[in-house]
């Protein structure tokens, strides 16, 4: 059988079975912990078999993951009505519809926290873990694939473990992971990462072999990731940011190499990081979640010396390039469990500069990352809160308008708050960068309107702000109007006033 040789602990080869046999371990009502983060590293054959099975034999599970899954696994399970509860993050368009219809209970969570919530009984225990593996070592360690996510935690906490040996993964990946699982309280020690590149754990996930209830062989590859090319707006955002960093270095407020960088996933973040490629910055480092194409471009360009992440989420062409030249990257990247990549302790210690994408921000610097018009979930907060709260400099970026100008991303009051103004240092749109550090709310509003807002919305924002200031308060608002821009959009399809 293809992949049997990857089970180097020979005694475990007896546990190989078909996906159809393995899913019999999953009972109706089970809490299932699935590997996968940023669309990379998920088990595939077993959950897809479960989706097929559930169509004929209805069952509901609670699905816990690292973060988002590829291969439409969320979508296929959702189509089979097999997901009752879901956490901590998802990015599937079909699942999203069921979530917003109130059919699937989605619990949006900071990615660093879920493992502790399970370990310390704020969330129910994991019954079955399904973990994608590059290999099982002679010692029985499970080598993850393209992400670490919560896999090590799930293996430790689950009653039973299904390992999916992923033949589609290049075995050269072995050695890139650094698995460290904090002890349960009250016996927890400091996490000993001092520099972004420190290795503190083992190369694979340690597991009691008796817990391994099934091993399934998989040939379905991870989903490849498509990234939009930068456009004029995202390039402008990148320029503003590079200019800001240059200014900070010139003023002596940031070191030449800036300090470890974190970047959210997506086209804007990708453009920003491309901006570094043509900058004068060197010796950059990442301490982030998802290593994207731009990470490897920066390494190739001699700009980045090290990148720590939780997953590699790459386009087909970049993945091929990386695997072909893996030896040159091996000492320059590491993949960690999300409890470590996103850990407040490390983020604050290292002084990470966090760059994430907002849906909208308001004139006082509050940020909405998740809810369209305050009600409909997009993907979830992901790691943005882990990084933003603890960052040295917390930055959010967004285009200043959406839907051809019908939506302003700078509003009087965000319709949903994921990040409070306390946590926000810098906001950027294509129009400019507002440095909000050390400013009171009224001062922030002035900058947000003058610098970040789209010119078409500035008069209306000024009008709101001035009338609100006339009423007074630390954070002046006209409560009866504060969300009228969103209500207007829902009614008329535009935030522009119709009168």
Binding to a copy of itself (CB under 8 A): which residues in 37-96? Answer: 85, 87
Secondary structure (3-state) at 121: coil
Interaction with a copy of itself in 184-203: which residues (CB under 8 A)? 185-186, 188-192, 194-195
Interaction with a copy of itself in 310-369: which residues (CB under 8 A)? 343-345, 348-351, 366
Residue 40 in contact with residue 63, Cβ under 8 Å?
no
Q: Which of 393, 433, 448, 495 binds a copy of itself (CB under 8 A)?
A: 393
CB-based burial label for 326 (10 Å; 0-12, 13-18, 19+): middle
- Cβ count within 10 A of residue 422: 9
Q: Which of 106, 154, 329, 457 binds a copy of itself (CB under 8 A)?
A: 106
Q: Which of 203, 221, 374, 405 binds a copy of itself (CB under 8 A)?
A: 374
Contacting residues for 5 by C-beta, under 8 A, at least 6 apart: none
Residue 185: CB minimum distance to a copy of itself, A: 4
Mark 211-250 with x for binding to a copy of itself (rule: CB under 8 A) and - for no binding. Answer: -------------------------------------x--
Does 417 help bind a copy of itself (rule: CB under 8 A)? yes
* Residue 42, beta-bridge partner list: none
Residue 390: CB minimum distance to a copy of itself, A: 6
Q: Which of 4, 10, 105, 406 binds a copy of itself (CB under 8 A)?
A: 105
Residue 380: CB minimum distance to a copy of itself, A: 9
Residue 455 in contact with residue 464, Cβ under 8 Å?
no
Cβ proximity to a copy of itself, 106 vs 276, nearer residue: 106
Backbone angles phi, psi at 47, to 5 degrees: -65, -35
- Cβ count within 10 A of residue 378: 15
Residue tagged active-site, from 164, 285, 289, 339: 289
Which residue carries 């189509």 as its tokens? 79
Backbone angles phi, psi at 353, to 5 degrees: -95, 115
Residue 51 in contact with residue 79, Cβ under 8 Å?
yes
Residue 234: CB minimum distance to a copy of itself, A: 26
Cβ proximity to a copy of itself, 192 vs 209, nearer residue: 192
Cα angle: 122, vertex 126, 132; to 5 degrees: 130
Q: Which of 79, 484, 494, 496 binds a copy of itself (CB under 8 A)?
A: 484
Residue 371: CB minimum distance to a copy of itself, A: 6
- Give the interface segment with a copy of itself, choosing from 15-23, 104-112, 220-228, 323-331 (CB under 8 A): 104-112
CA atoms within 13 A on the CB side of 84: 11
Interaction with a copy of itself in 424-443: which residues (CB under 8 A)? 425, 437-440, 442-443
> Is 24 a known active-site residue?
no
Q: Which of 324, 376, 403, 467 binds a copy of itself (CB under 8 A)?
A: 376
Q: Which of 14, 138, 479, 498 binds a copy of itself (CB under 8 A)?
A: 479
Q: Which of 59, 79, 100, 233 binds a copy of itself (CB under 8 A)?
A: 100
Q: Which of 58, 331, 473, 493 binds a copy of itself (CB under 8 A)?
A: 473
CB-based burial label for 400 (10 Å; 0-12, 13-18, 19+): buried
Contacting residues for 264 by C-beta, under 8 A, at least 6 apart: 355, 356, 357, 382, 383, 384
Q: Which of 1, 5, 57, 120 binds a copy of itself (CB under 8 A)?
A: 120
Residue 162 in contact with residue 216, Cβ under 8 Å?
yes
Interaction with a copy of itself in 122-141: which residues (CB under 8 A)? 122-124
Cβ proximity to a copy of itself, 80 vs 99, nearer residue: 99
Residue 151: CB minimum distance to a copy of itself, A: 21
Which residue carries 């994608």 as its tokens? 132
Residue 116: CB minimum distance to a copy of itself, A: 7
Cβ proximity to a copy of itself, 397 vs 424, nearer residue: 424
Question: Do you know the residue count of the chain?
Answer: 499
Which residue carries 């002596």 as its tokens? 252
Residue 421: CB minimum distance to a copy of itself, A: 8
Q: Is 276 left (phi over 0), alpha (psi -120 to 50) or beta?
A: alpha
Cβ proximity to a copy of itself, 329 vs 364, nearer residue: 364
Contacting residues for 302 by C-beta, under 8 A, at least 6 apart: 282
Nearest alpha carbon to residue 196 among 333, 19, 367, 22 = 333
Backbone angles phi, psi at 64, to 5 degrees: -110, 140
Q: Which of 385, 387, 400, 432 binds a copy of itself (CB under 8 A)?
A: 385
Residue 119 in contact with residue 95, Cβ under 8 Å?
no
Q: Which of 217, 241, 269, 381 binds a copy of itself (CB under 8 A)?
A: 381
DSSP 167: T
Give the interface size with a copy of itself as a residue count (CB under 8 A): 87
* Positions marked catalytic: 289
């Amino acid at each position: 059988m293809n992949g049997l040789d990857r089970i180097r602990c020979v005694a475990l080869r007896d546990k190989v079975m078909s996906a159809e046999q393995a899913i019999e371990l999953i009972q109706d009502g089970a809490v299932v912990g699935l590997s996968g983060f940023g669309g990379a590293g998920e088990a595939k054959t077993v959950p897809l078999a479960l989706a097929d099975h559930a169509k004929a034999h209805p069952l509901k599970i609670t699905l816990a993951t690292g973060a988002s899954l590829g291969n439409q696994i969320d979508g296929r399970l959702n189509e089979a009505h097999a997901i009752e509860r879901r956490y901590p993050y998802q990015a599937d368009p079909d699942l999203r519809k069921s979530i917003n219809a109130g059919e699937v209970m989605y619990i949006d969570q900071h990615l660093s926290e879920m493992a502790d919530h399970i370990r310390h009984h704020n969330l129910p225990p994991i019954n079955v873990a399904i973990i994608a593996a590059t290999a099982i070592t002679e010692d029985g360690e499970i080598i993850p694939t393209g992400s670490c996510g919560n896999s090590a935690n799930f293996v430790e906490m689950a009653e039973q473990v299904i390992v999916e040996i992923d033949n589609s993964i290049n075995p050269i990946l072995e050695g890139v992971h650094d698995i460290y699982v904090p002890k349960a309280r009250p016996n927890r020690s400091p996490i000993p990462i001092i520099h972004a590149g420190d290795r503190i754990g083992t190369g694979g996930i340690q597991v009691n072999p008796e817990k391994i209830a099934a091993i399934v062989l998989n040939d379905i590859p991870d989903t490849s990731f498509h990234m939009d090319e930068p456009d004029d707006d995202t390039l402008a955002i990148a320029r503003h940011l590079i200019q800001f960093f240059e200014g900070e270095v010139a003023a002596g407020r940031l070191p030449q190499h800036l300090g470890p960088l974190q970047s959210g996933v997506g086209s804007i973040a990708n453009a920003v990081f491309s901006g570094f490629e043509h900058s004068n910055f060197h010796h950059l480092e990442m301490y982030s979640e998802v290593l994207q194409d731009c990470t490897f471009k920066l390494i190739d360009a001699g700009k980045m010396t090290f990148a720590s992440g939780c997953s590699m989420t790459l386009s087909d062409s970049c993945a091929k390039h990386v695997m072909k030249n893996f030896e040159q990257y091996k000492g320059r990247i590491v993949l960690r469990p999300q409890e470590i990549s996103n850990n407040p302790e490390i983020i604050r210690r290292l002084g990470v500069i966090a760059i994430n994408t907002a849906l909208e921000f308001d004139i006082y610097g509050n940020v909405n990352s998740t809810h369209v018009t305050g009600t409909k979930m997009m993907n979830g907060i992901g790691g943005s809160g882990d990084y933003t709260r603890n960052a040295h400099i917390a930055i959010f970026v967004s285009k200043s308008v959406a839907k051809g100008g019908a939506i302003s991303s700078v509003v009087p009051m965000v319709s949903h708050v994921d990040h409070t103004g306390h946590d926000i240092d810098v906001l950027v749109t294509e129009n400019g960068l507002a440095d909000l550090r050390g400013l009171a709310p009224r001062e922030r509003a002035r900058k947000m309107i003058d610098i970040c807002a789209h010119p078409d919305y500035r008069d209306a924002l000024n009008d709101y702000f001035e009338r609100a200031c006339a009423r007074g308060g630390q954070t002046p608002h006209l409560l009866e109007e504060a969300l009228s821009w969103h209500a207007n959009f829902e009614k008329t399809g535009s935030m522009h006033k119709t009168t």
